[in-house]
Amino acid sequence: MVLDSGIKVFDLEGKFLYKFSDGEFAFPRCLSVDKAGHLLICDEPDSNVLVFELGGKFITKFGRKGSEIGEFVAPTSTAVLTDGRIVVCDFENNRIQIFE
Sort strands 58-62 and 75-80 into parallel, antiparallel or unpaired. Answer: unpaired
Give me the pLDDT at residue 3, please.
58
> Looking at residue 6, what DSSP letter applies?
S
The residues spanned by each domain of the chain are 27-99
Give me the pLDDT at residue 2, please.
53
DSSP-assigned letters across all residues of 45-99: TTTEEEEEETTS-EEEEE--BSSSTT-BSSEEEEEE-TTS-EEEEETTTTEEEEE
pLDDT digits (tens, 9 = 90+) for 28-84: 888 899 989 999 999 888 899 999 998 888 899 999 999 999 999 999 999 999 999
Give me the pLDDT at residue 5, please.
66
Domain covering 27-99, topology: Thrombin, subunit H (2.40.10)
As a whole number of angstroms, the distance between CA 75 and CA 88 comes to 7
